[in-house]
Amino acid sequence: MKFSWIDYCQAPLIVAHRGSSAIRPENTIAAFKQAITDGTDAIELDIHLTKDDEVVVIHDSRLNRTTNGKGLVSDYDIAELKRLDAGSRYHQKFADEKIPTLADVFSVIRNKIGINIEIKTEPARKQNLLIVDRCIELVESFRLIKNVLISSFHHPFIERVKEVDQRIATGFLYSPFRRKLKSPVKFTKSIGAEYLITGRSVISRRLIDDAHNDGLLVGEYTVNTERGFKRALRFGIDALITNNPRKIRDLLSNKK
């Protein structure tokens, strides 16, 4: 049975946050391949647009933290970004790792596990829906409609996904530190998303029950400890987003 974000047999799903980022440089092909080895159900990754409107996989809008480059991702074209080292800041043995394009990741991951694409925002391009359209073009061209969940803290991106292709599952990322909502469940439902994805401070049994009663699924970020795992399982979380999918997989296996 092929992976589906909506129609799956076992809960919770284990989602590798930026790949197996506890033991590999985040958002790299090495981290995503490791996630497959670690038994994850899906990977989570982050995307930005380059200067020449290519979709690349990197968390920050700036290059400084995870690469040997400096400045905004959006100030570089794809050829320039491909020359950067995206692994050495984690460990020198990963010096050959590059910033992958979304197409690169699709080529490696397709039909193996699910993919959660978080669309990031940038100050200069926050209202630019081109990144959504480019992302959907790639999802459709690789025939990954069922394999992909597109998520964002920026709800217009979610609404745009549904305008372009209703078949693609979406997730609203919610943090009260970014925006306080009286009912994140109702808001998620109102924008047409299938998933509400939020952190420990928001998660409660009541929130999950309300979401399930409204036909929504709930994901929690970032679950890395046994205590957090047990709490999430007790509350009925549908997707566990973790930096260490092998650890969470082992904990889940021991529960059965």
**Catalytically active residues, by annotation:** 17, 59
How many Cα atoms are found within 13 Å in the side-chain-facing hemisphere of 140? 12
What are the backbone dihedrals phi and psi of residue 192, each rounded to the nearest 5 degrees, phi first? 85, 10
**Two structure tokens written together for 58:** 């990197």
Alpha-carbon span 212 to 190, nearest angstrom? 15
Separation CA 167–CA 157 (nearest Å): 15
The token duo for 179 is 């925006």
- What's the CA dihedral at 198, 99, 91, 150 to 10 degrees? 20
Alpha helices in the chain (DSSP H): 29-37, 78-81, 102-109, 130-141, 155-164, 184-190, 205-213, 226-235, 245-255
Please answer whether residues 241 and 251 qualify as being in contact, where contact means their C-beta atoms are separated by less than 8 angstroms: no
